[in-house]
Every structure is written in C-alpha cells, then in structure tokens.
Amino acid sequence: MNNDKQIAVLGVGMHPWGKWGRSFVEYGIEAARAALRDAGLSWDDIQYVAGADTIRNGYPGFIAGATFSQALGWKGNRVASCYAACASGAQALNIARAQILAGLCDVALVVGADTTPKGFFTPVGGDRPDDPDWLRFRLLGATNPTYFALYARRRMELYGATGEDFALVKVKNAKHGLANPNARYRKAVSIEDVMASPTVADPLRLLDICATSDGGAALVLSSMEYARKRDAKPVRIAAISTVTPTYPQTIIEMPNFSTDSAAVVAPPERAFRDAIGFAAYEEAGIGPDDIDLAEVYDLSTALELDWYENLGLCKEGEAERLIRDGDTAVGGRVPVNPSGGLASFGEAIPAQAIAQVCELTWQLRGQADGRQVDGATAGITVNQGLFGHGSSVIVSR
Amino acid sequence: MNNDKQIAVLGVGMHPWGKWGRSFVEYGIEAARAALRDAGLSWDDIQYVAGADTIRNGYPGFIAGATFSQALGWKGNRVASCYAACASGAQALNIARAQILAGLCDVALVVGADTTPKGFFTPVGGDRPDDPDWLRFRLLGATNPTYFALYARRRMELYGATGEDFALVKVKNAKHGLANPNARYRKAVSIEDVMASPTVADPLRLLDICATSDGGAALVLSSMEYARKRDAKPVRIAAISTVTPTYPQTIIEMPNFSTDSAAVVAPPERAFRDAIGFAAYEEAGIGPDDIDLAEVYDLSTALELDWYENLGLCKEGEAERLIRDGDTAVGGRVPVNPSGGLASFGEAIPAQAIAQVCELTWQLRGQADGRQVDGATAGITVNQGLFGHGSSVIVSR
Amino acid sequence: MPAKTRVPAVEGWFTTEGDEPALLGTRCRSCGTYAFPRESYFCKNPACDGREFDDVALSRRGRVWSFTNNCYQPPPPFVPTSDPFEPFAIAAVELADEQLVVLGQMVPGTSVDDLKAGMDVELVVDTLFEDDEHEYLVWKWRLVETGAPA
Amino acid sequence: MPAKTRVPAVEGWFTTEGDEPALLGTRCRSCGTYAFPRESYFCKNPACDGREFDDVALSRRGRVWSFTNNCYQPPPPFVPTSDPFEPFAIAAVELADEQLVVLGQMVPGTSVDDLKAGMDVELVVDTLFEDDEHEYLVWKWRLVETGAPA
Ligand SMILES: [Zn+2]
Ligand SMILES: [Zn+2]
C-alpha cells in the first residue's frame, strides 16, 4: 500500500435511514455527533468540515459544510461543500483527505444527509428544456428505473440472467440488513416476494429497485500520526477514486439520450464503471484478490451484479454464478453489501457513499454485530453519480 | 513564508465580463483555454479540475467540475464541484491546492463561470418559508443592497463618512477598469455622476452598487517543483483562508434577520471579516505591511472601505482618509482593486474570487498594462460568501 | 364589507395580541443563550449540546444600530402594497438585554431623514400586505416619542 | 373539427417531414466525431478543439442494444396520454455508422415480449402527446418487418 497517502478513520456515525420528515440538518448533526462520540472527540477538536450537498433542500443544502458547522456552533473552522450526485459523499471524503495529507489540518469531519421526496426522483423545478435531466422525462418518460432496467435486460440478453437471479440479490441484502440498526427495512424477503411485486420497469420489479430515504452519515478523519497516538492499528482510507469517464463513453448513462460516438475515437481500454474501481486499486496498490468485502451501489438488484464484474470480483458474465453460489453473502468468498445495501436502506444521496465507508469501518473493527465478515482486513466501496462521477473507496486495517 | 504549503500559478485566463446571454459553460471553457494557453499547457496535461458551482443554471451548474471536464473532453481526470456563494472560487482553489500539496496530482485547473439573471439577485425558486433567504424578501423586502446600505450608513454614523467618500471609491475603480480588457464597464466616472445616479438603498446610489454579470475565470495550478522546471520564479499561492465565523457573530449578515446573541458567550477576539484576512496573513507568515496591493469585494463602494480596515490596511475609522488621500489608487501606497473591481466588472459569483487571483497574477508578473502596480511582490484578495464563507488569498512572487 | 382576518405573515415569530407585542425568540435551557428566530434544532453556542429551548418574548425596545431606505421595489416573494412603489425604511436594532441586533421595517411615515444611530425604538405589529380576505401582519419598529416639546 | 398543428416536442432534434424522418446530430468539422443531440459548443473529443459542426441526419436504422417497459406513469414533465396509464416500451438502439446508442420509445403496440437484443429497428415520427391545438411529435423506434411469413 502507498503508506504516505493514507489517513485514519477515527469515528463513524449515522442517523438511521427512514422517512422521518425532518430537516436534513438534524440527520447530519446526529450522525456527526455519533461519529464524534465514536472517535472520543468533541466538536472543538474538529478543524475542517466537508459537507456533501443536497440540491433539494434550498440554500442550506447547497452549502452543507457551512450549514452543519453553524448547527454545531460557529467556531472559525474551515469548510467545503461539494456536489457530485450519488458520488457526493466520496467527493467530500476526498476533499477532506487532501486537506489532511497536505498538512492543512489534522482532524476533519465529513457529513452528508438528505431529506428526500416521495416516489421517483424528478428533475429539479422549473421548465428547463435545455437540461437533459428535464428532457428525458418529457421526451421519453425515462425515469431512473428505466436506465436500471436497460442494464438488467442487457444482462438477460447477454448472459442469460433471470428475474430469479436478480431476486436473489434482494434476498441476500434483506437478510444482511436484518441485523443493521441503521437500516430502514429490516424484514426477510423471499424470491417469491420479489417475483410477486409489481413490475416497475421490465424486468425490474418493485423489490428490485431501491427506495429513496432520509438519512445521515458522518466520518471523523485524521492524519495517521494523530490517530496512532490513540490507536495502534486504526482503520485507514487506503484509496479514493473520483475519476470521470474517458471519451467515448459507449454505455448509455442516466440521464443521457445517447452514448458518445466511437466512430472516430476508439473506446477506452476500460469502460467507465471498470475504471472507477481500477483507479482505487491502483492507488491502494492492491487488487481484487486482496478484497475481503465490498459495499456496492445496488440502485437495482441487477446493478449489483454488474458491480461484481466492474470490481473484478469475477469475470464478465459470471456474476449470476456468484450470487447463485452464495459467494457474495456473509459467510461466502467475498461478501457484498453486508450492511444490507441500498436494498435495506433506500438511497439518501449525499449520505450514501459515506454510509458505505461507515459499514466497512465497523466490519474491519469487528463491530458489525449479526452481519460480521470474519477477519476482514480490506474492503472496497463503489458507486457512480450522474454526469460522470466515479466513486470508490478502499478501507483497510 | 511557509514554503511547504505553497503552490504555483502557471496560467490564468478569463472570458470577458458582460451580459452575453450565452451558457456559463462557454465562458468557463474559454477562460480555461485561455489559462492553458497562458501556462503553455494543454488539456491533456490537467489531472484535476475543481469547478466553482452556479446554482441558477440547472444541473450542469451544480456539478461544474464535471461539466467543464466533459466540455473539454472526458479523459478520466478527477474532479470536484463546490459551492460557497461568492466565496465559491476560493473554495475551488483551496480544494485544488490541497490535492497538489497532498501529492495527489501535479497540475490542476480551477474554473468558475456564471450566467446571471437581470436586476436584483432573488432567492432560488419555489415557496420556501423555512429558508431565511426567501423570508427576508417576503417579510422585510430586504434585498442585497439593503444589507450593503446598513453597513454604509453605519460608517456615516460612526466615522462621518459621506456620499462623496463612497463616490470616490467608484471614481477610482472606474479609472482602474478603463485599461482592463476583461472589464464590463470601461468608462470614466466622476463624483457628480455617482451623486446624480438614483438612490437604490439610502445612502447607496446605483453607481455605488455592483451589477450582476456573465463571466468566467480560470487558473492552472501546479506544485512548486513542477513549476520550477518551467519558470525559476513562478507566481505562488502563499495562503488561502476559507474560515467560517466564530460564535457569536455580532454583525448582521445577509440574509439573516438577526445577529447571534452576545449575552452569554462573549464576542470573539476578531469579528468575522477581520478574521478572514487574519487567517490568510497567519498562514502566509506575513502582515498587512508586506502587502503591495489588494483585490477586495466591492459589492458596494462603502464595503470597499470596510475591507481596508478588515485587512489591516489602515486602522478602524481611517478608510475614508485613505480613499481621500489616494492611497488606494494605482500609484498610491497600497492600491486596491487595480483590476477595476466589481465596480468595473459586475459580479459573476463563482468566477469572481478566481478573477481576483487572475488580476494579482498579472500584477505580480508586470503584465497589467495600463493599471500596473510597480514592483508588486505580494497581494491579497478578500471576499465573503453568504452563510459564513470567508475567502482570502495571498499571492506572491 | 366585513373586516379582513388579521393573520401573521409568518407563524410563531412574534405575538400579535395585546398592547405590547413582542418578537418571540428562544433561550437555551443548557447555556441560556438567546436566539431569534426561534431555535428548534441545536443550540448555536459551539460549547453547548443543548437541544431544548424555552420560548421567550424579546425586549420590546432597542436602539438603532443602522438603517436604510429601500427605494426600489424588491423582487418576489416581496408583495408590493402600492403602485407605484413607495420607499420604506428598514432598521437594524440592538436589544440590550439579549445583546443581539434584529432587522425590521420602520412604520410607514418614518424615513432615513428621521433616524440616527442610537435612537430608541419600540416594536409594533403592522400590516405587511393584504389580499381579499386577509391582512398579513409583521413586526415593525417605531421611534419612541421622547416627550420633548415639538 | 380542424386538424391539429403538428409540432416537434423539441426543436431541432429530428426531421418531421418526408417519408424518411431521421434524428439530427452533428459532425465535428475538425475531427469528424458524431454527436446526438446536436453539439453547438465544444467538440467532446478531448483531443479536439473544434467548435464548428455540420448538421447530419443519423442512420435511420439500428439494432436493439437493450429495452424495457415503463409500467408506472413517470412524473412531470412527462405528459400522460391516457388515464389509466398504459405501459410503453423504451429501447436503446445502436447505430452502426455512427457507433453510438440512442434511446427512444417504441411505437405503441410493441412490448418487451416482442423484442430481443440485435433486432433491427427503424426510426419513425409519432405523437408524444396532444393539447387542444397541437400534436407534439417525437422520434420512436419501430421493428423492421423481416418479410418472414406470419
Ligand atoms: Zn445552549
Ligand atoms: Zn472534434
């Protein structure tokens, strides 16, 4: 591993996911205080706050770093507020990491929280016919599940995936989430339950698709030097990938109408989703074989299968075999989404990539009661935000 | 100076300010290409892009770093997109600096650009009675100039400032801007012109208050090691302050209805605006006496006078003497806003703090034709964004 | 014509009944710090973890810290009350006990020419705007008559 | 009842006249790369500084890359055309010459059960929704009849 690029995770915390109907600020602050307690530190010890923004909660959401700082009490600390759709949390983490590695601060707090509307995500308000995110609803009626369904159907056409394979992902994640006190849904689900739920965007059914949730997650980070005074073997952030695509992007991506053209410029060596994890492995100096568990962005059950391949946990076309064989369940070869994943949480956009790191931290410390991956020493998260935001974090101990 | 915390400015560029009615993306890309040309580098050399967001231009504005990267051509580079109101540009610069100092990249691009609506800035859309930025319009009719006027009147009441003193600031900045090819207004203004313009928010007149503009600005930054291979004495970023206030904040701030209470906790040693520059001086290891010139955020003429004192260019209550004596004009003791300032540019929110650094770079290189501050070796910028965002950058050579 | 219903333009920011209207703030039960508008989440004092607050009526009198006239019609959600627009004054007022500054419109008829920093003002409730059925109320500041002969 | 005016639901994205409607894209004058929707700012090829583009009609035929049925009514700005909502199919279609994939609704009557990856489709112009005066048009994909006996 590249030891000079590592930082420590001193504390992690969440506000449970759900539909609480309160302000995102409350979720963020409760998560932050939980992370501070976990770290054994107080607000006074924090020098830098990186907030992951929410764009559906007015001005306070655009300046999350300042909003959380003011709610904790103005004390002159420096802040940043960033946005990268579903990758916002990883961006905030990356911004805080660089401040620490640069020696500009010793201890930083990263917070993301959201209050979400019900139902499908819709484009932000107003009549905006220049915005692809508006036009895709108008001209195509293409919702987020539409795109997830195109990928799912592609797996069926190419690799013979079935609706039951997808359902197996839900069954596994629901089982993992049973033991997670921060999960929104804590209920066992059977293949029959999934198959009996109404089809949203064929072949995906209601139980194949993640809900939208309220929630908050926070991390207290420090330099390795600071951490080692408190803990001889702290959990470390070994890599953060925030790469963008390489032209031409030949897989259709939400919310676009088309891919780039490969007629003049040849496609890159690695497609975008493969490149996200690759950059993280490269930065950490390890490979897929060194990974004990993964938290991947299961916006749909089928998408989780794609991520297995994108992360190199198996070869292309083999993901169905992994889920069928139980390789990615807790107790299997490389457990995926031991937290229960988005399937058990629902998505709280700016909090989600941070929550993935919380789970890996608990796992590497051996604190994931009821869902513990035994002896885990390295885990990876992966995720992708609209408009070209890669997000992958490697956590090790 | 703290030499281990410095980075180099390899190139600067702008799209001229104005009301062009085109997409902010175009302004940003033209500024970025100008900065690349200035640096003698190509897009291929850039490893990291930090974008300063605009929140009034749909989804692409929320993810400025990705939007600019895609427009320049996806090539896998890492990005960040941040927002901090008027301080967004300094935040983007700070984020990029840390990536370089941390050794996570060698060369970064910082871009901010905006397409602005006409007239007063209004709160973002929808009926949002929980948002102070909405309520101040509803309950008080308090526009941005209302707050500027409260500060201006306070100077009149405390220090005997006059409308003519404020007008002198406009006269000076208009004169400076005459020679700036990127300025929107390039027209000499007399005291009589200012005094004859209609009162907007007493005591401030139309010519005391900055307009809103379209514009774009960009910086190409690198590690000192990378820069020294190309230039023995590059322009350097010596400090960036992005501090927040310390409780209780006892000066009324836009868009609030009230200050914090000082009844229980005593006010901090330095009020927020004094603390912004102080943190920059401290980081750079220099003081106000070492400063040859300043770019300050003259949202109103009177506010420029406040900044003289906040930056320690004079004692409290002495700013009127400085402007009357010509100390802050080019040729004077410590020229302020040699670019022409917001008075000549109008404000393009995410670009403005970056534009301040562009001007200091040209000045320190001796390239500020027609407005050059002779022999300048160190300059400071200062600025403040809504909701507690300090912004001050020290540039030296 | 029946009288219009008088309703506050914002809920819970000020009292509307009685001779002595007042702004409604909060006081932290842990550290005693004041806040206006009312705090319902977290105490803003960084040294305090308080989440419980008592409602308190703020001082009805204060001193002018600064002031201005709004000479142009603000954009929505401001609701204009006259056409053409008539300028109105806004003051920032220091409350001595709470040691905070609160903004408010001055009552109609008071302009910047009548004001100086340090003058005593008191809080009144007045009409902000009206629609067909309602009169929307807001707090405003009024100069305290000093009793000196005119 | 007079015929409604037929107008495109979005300007400049496709041709509406003639027997052979087509999507309108651009081709970069510097590097020749295609783009859909039309590029008007900057060529997306990172190796190219091009800012000038020729309009081009894209291939009218392509092959299905993937597909889905939308079974729930999408939120606005989608305009529903029936109550209750009727599911419709969307396909991602590969154009061989341009080497890009374009989304489009399938014409009414085609469902996922009719589709397989690799099938040939062609572009038609059809009604997206209507109001009292206008019929708003959009491009859709239609399966190419193979001529095989039914
Ligand atoms: Zn308290
Ligand atoms: Zn080209």
Order of strands, edge to edge, in the sheet holding D34-35? D34-35, D24-28, D53-57
Report the largest interatomic distance among the alpha carbons of chain D, rounded to a whole angstrom.
Answer: 56
Q: Tell which of A120, A124, A127, A138 to mutate to test the D interface (max D CBs under 10 Å).
A: A138
- Paired with D14 in beta bridges are D23
3-state secondary structure A304-365: HHHHHHHCCCCCCCCHHHHHHHCCCCCCCCCCECCCCHHHHHCECHHHHHHHHHHHHHHHHH
Residue C38 belongs to some domain of the structure: no
- Residue A89 — very low, low, confident or very high, per pLDDT cuts 50/70/90? very high
Residue A99 pLDDT greater than 90, yes or no? yes
Average pLDDT, integer, range A79-108: 98
Closest CA to A52 of A81, A77, A17, A15: A81
Question: What is the nearest CA distance from D72 to chain B, expressed in angstroms?
Answer: 25
Asked if A5's CB is within 8 angstroms of B103's CB, the reply is yes
Q: How far is the CA of B77 from the centre of ligand 2 (A)?
A: 19
Average pLDDT, chain A: 96
Mean pLDDT for the stretch of residues D48-75:
96
Residue C150 clears pLDDT 50, i.e. is over it: no
pLDDT classification of B143: cutoffs 50, 70, 90: very high
Q: Which amino acid would we find at residue B293?
A: L
Decide if A364 contacts A339 (C-beta within 8 A).
no
The pLDDT assigned to A126 comes to: 66
Task: Strand C34-35: give its sheet, edge to edge.
Answer: C34-35, C24-28, C53-57
The environment of the single-atom ion ligand 2, i.e. residues with CB closer than 5 A, is: D 28, 30-31, 43, 45, 48, 50
- Smallest CA–CA separation between A129 and chain D, in Å? 8
Distance from the alpha carbon of residue C11 to the mean position of ligand 1, in angstroms: 23
DSSP labels, D123-147: EEEEEEEE-SSEEEEEEEEEEPP--
Confidence (pLDDT) at D17:
74
Decide if A58 and B131 are in contact by the 8 Å CB cutoff. yes
Residue A34: is its pLDDT beyond 50?
A: yes
Tell me the shortest Cα–Cα distance from A228 to chain D, in angstroms. 44
CB contact under 8 A, B247 and A75: yes
- Verify whether the Cβ–Cβ distance C41 to A73 is below 8 Å: no
Q: Per the domain annotation, does C49 fall within a domain?
A: no
- Per-residue CA distances from B249 to A70, A179, B60 (Å): 11, 45, 34
Q: How confident is the model at residue B132 (pLDDT cuts 50, 70, 90)?
A: confident
In sequence order, what are the residues at sequence separation of 6 or more whose Cβ sits closer than 8 angstroms to the Cβ of residue D77? A123, A127, A134, A137, A138
pLDDT at B218 > cutoff 70: yes
Q: Is the pLDDT of residue A3 over 90?
A: no
D46 alpha carbon, closest ligand = 2
> Are the C-beta atoms of C72 and C95 separated by less than 8 Å?
no
Is the pLDDT reported for residue B348 higher than 50? yes
pLDDT score at B121: 58
Burial A340-378 (b: 16+ CB within 10 A, else e): bbbbbbbbbbbbbbbbbbbbbbbbbbeebeebbbeebeb
Put simply, the chain A residues between 240 and 299 with a CB less than 8 A from any chain D CB are 247-248, 250, 252, 257-265
Cα separations in angstroms, B13 against A118, A262, A266, B35, B354: 44, 32, 32, 4, 10
Predicted local distance difference test score (pLDDT) of residue A2: 60
Mean pLDDT of B284-300: 98
Helix (H, G, I), strand (E, B) or coil at A296: strand
- pLDDT interval class at B58 (50, 70, 90): confident
Q: What is the pLDDT of residue A165?
A: 98
- Decide if pLDDT at D30 tops 80: yes
Q: What is the pLDDT of residue B312?
A: 98
**Rounded CA separation B172/B178 (Å):** 10
Residue A118 clears pLDDT 80, i.e. is over it: no
The arithmetic mean of pLDDT across residues B3-15, rounded, is: 94
* Residue D148 in this model has a pLDDT that exceeds 60: no
The predicted-structure confidence for B190-214, as pLDDT tens digits, reads as follows 999 999 999 999 999 999 999 999 9
Across the strands, what pairs with D139?
A: D125
The residue with tokens 């231009």 is B57
C-alpha A28/C-alpha A24 separation (Å) is 6
**Cα distance between residue B75 and residue B44, in whole Å:** 8
DSSP A206-247: GGGB--B-EEEEEEEEEEHHHHHTT-SS-EEEEEEE-BPPBS
Question: What pLDDT is attached to residue B337?
Answer: 98
Residue C97 lies in a domain: yes
And the tokens for A91? Answer: 């961006």
Q: Which residues of A53-79 are buried (b: 16+ CB within 10 A; e: fewer)?
A: bbbebbbbbbbbbbbbbbbbbbbbbbb
Contacts of residue B234, Cβ cutoff 8 Å, sequence gap at least 6:
B8, B9, B10, B224, B227, B228, B397
Q: Rounded to whole angstroms, how far apart are CA atoms A29 and C42?
A: 9
- Kindly state whether residue D36 falls inside one of the protein's structural domains: no
Tokens standing for residue A298: 């299961």
Whole-model pTM: value is: 0.95
Into how many domains does chain D fold? 1
| pLDDT at site D150 | 40
List the one residue out of C63, C50, C68 whose CA is nearest residue C118: C63
Look at D49 and B26 and tell me if their CB atoms are within 8 Å.
no
- Binary contact (A102, B244; C-beta < 8 A): no
Q: Which ligand minimizes its atom distance to the CA of D28?
A: 2
pLDDT score of B120:
57
Evaluate whether residue D37 is within a structural domain.
no
The predicted-structure confidence for B313-342, as pLDDT tens digits, reads as follows 999 999 999 999 999 999 999 999 999 999
For residue B1, is pLDDT > 60?
Answer: no
Q: From its phi and psi, is residue D73 left (phi > 0), alpha (psi between -120 and 50) or beta?
A: beta
Can you give the pLDDT at residue A58? Answer: 84
* pLDDT (tens digit per residue) in A317-359: 999 999 999 999 999 999 999 999 999 999 999 999 999 999 9
Distance A120 CA to ligand 2 centre (A): 37
Among B144, B133, B183, which Cα is nearest to B352's?
Answer: B183
Q: Is residue C53 situated within a structural domain?
A: no
Whole-angstrom Cα distance, residue B100 to residue B7? Answer: 7
Of A69, A130, A247, the CB nearest to B73: A247
In DSSP terms, C123 is beta-bridged to C141
- Residue range B178-190, pLDDT digits in tens: 999 999 999 999 9
Give me the pLDDT at residue C19, please.
75
Mean pLDDT of A241-268: 96
Q: What percent of chain B is predicted at pLDDT more than 90?
A: 92
Query: Which pairing describes strands D120-130 and D88-95: parallel, antiparallel, or unpaired?
Result: unpaired
Q: Which helix (H) or strand (E) holds C143?
A: strand C134-143
Q: Containing domain of residue C89, as a range?
A: 5-23+58-142
- Contact (CB<8Å) C46/A70: no
Residue C127 lies in a domain: yes
B134 vs A247 pLDDT, higher one: A247
Q: Which of B112, B86, B151, B88 is nearest to B384 (CA)?
A: B86
Residue A23's pLDDT is 94
Contacts 24+ apart (CB under 8 A), B334-337: B334/B291, B334/B292, B334/B293, B334/B294, B335/B176, B335/B292, B335/B293, B335/B294, B335/B373, B336/B293, B336/B294, B336/B295, B336/B296, B336/B304, B336/B307, B336/B308, B337/B172, B337/B173, B337/B176, B337/B294, B337/B295, B337/B296, B337/B298, B337/B304
Q: Is the peptide bond before A16 cis (omega within 30 degrees of 0)?
A: no
Residue C72: phi, psi to the nearest 5?
-120, 150
Q: Express the helix, strand and coil content of chain B in percent, nearest 5 each.
A: 40, 20, 40
Tokens of B326: 């010509």
Spell out the residues 6+ positions from residue B11 whose beta carbon is closer than 8 angstroms to its own: B35, B36, B37, B38, B39, B40, B41, B219, B220
For B183-201, the DSSP string reads: -S------HHHHHHSPEEE
Q: Tokens 């501070």 — which residue?
A: A36
**Mean of the pLDDT values across residues B71-98?**
98
The letter for the amino acid at A68 is F
The angle that helices B349-365 and B24-39 make with each other, rounded to 10 degrees, is 20
Over the stretch A194-230, which tens digit does the pLDDT of each residue have?
999 999 999 999 999 999 999 999 999 999 999 999 9
Indicate the residue of D77, D90, D104 with minimum beta-carbon distance to A138: D77
Best mutation target, A43, A47, A59, A69, to test chain C (most C CBs within 10 A): A43
* D124 alpha carbon – ligand 2 mean position (Å): 29
How many percent of chain B have pLDDT more than 70? 97
Q: What is the pLDDT of residue B102?
A: 97
Residue B127 pLDDT more than 90?
Answer: no
pLDDT band at residue A246, thresholds of 50, 70 and 90? very high
**Pair of tokens at residue D139:** 């491009």
Residue D136 maps to a domain? yes
Q: Is the pLDDT of residue D77 over 80?
A: yes
Supply the Cα-derived Rg of chain A in whole angstroms. Answer: 20
- pLDDT of the residue at A1: 55
pLDDT value at residue B307: 98
A239-253, B127-141, B265-279: range with lowest mean pLDDT: B127-141
Predicted local confidence at residue D149, as pLDDT: 46
pLDDT of residue B125: 61
Q: What value does the CA radius of gyration of chain B take, rounded to a whole number of Å?
A: 20
Q: Residue A11: which of A102, A105, A110, A114 has the closest Cα?
A: A110
Q: Is residue A24 within 8 Å of residue A113, measured between CB atoms? A: yes
Q: What is the pLDDT of residue C149?
A: 46
